[in-house]
Amino acid sequence: MDRTWRRLLAFSVIAVLLSGSAAPVSGSLENSVSIVQLIATPEKYDGKVVQVMGFLRLEFEGNAIYLHEDDYTHAIYKNGLMVVSNSNIEPRADKLNLHYVILEGTFDGKNLGNKGLNSGTITNITFIGICPTRKP
């Protein structure tokens, strides 16, 4: 089992044990936040390491993680955060693109993305993985 899957499995087990609460990959519960929290109170998280889940779109001058796939589809850019790609993303970009992911990085509430369209930026990505899909 590769490192990414082990981390996702560990995350899933912790999440189940905590009755559905999201547990960050770093092991610290204080890093896990929703995109809504980052949009509503960017000053509270500015410069801090955060872990979020959302729909990832990787495209030229438009890398972003959105609250929901519909936000990307309907170009609701303010419901998204720009994502600065790095060596944790680039080799797996084709597999990660257009999927719900969990990612951990540093939140910059002052950088509103390309042309100021987004509600912040996540840089220095330390972990990214595709979210497991629940079966009905």
Domain annotation covers residue 94: yes
Residues of the chain with pLDDT under 50: 5, 13-24
Domain annotation covers residue 135: no
DSSP letter string, 68-128: SHHHHHTT-GGGEEEE---TTTGGGHHHHTTEEEEEEEEEESS---GGG-SS-EEEEEEEE
* Number of compact structural domains in the chain: 1
pLDDT at 11: 52
Domain annotation covers residue 119: yes
pLDDT at 30: 66
pLDDT at 119: 97
What predicted TM-score, i.e. pTM, was given to this entire model?
A: 0.78
pLDDT at 20: 38
pLDDT at 2: 57
Identify the domain containing residue 105 by its residue range: 3-130
Domain annotation covers residue 74: yes
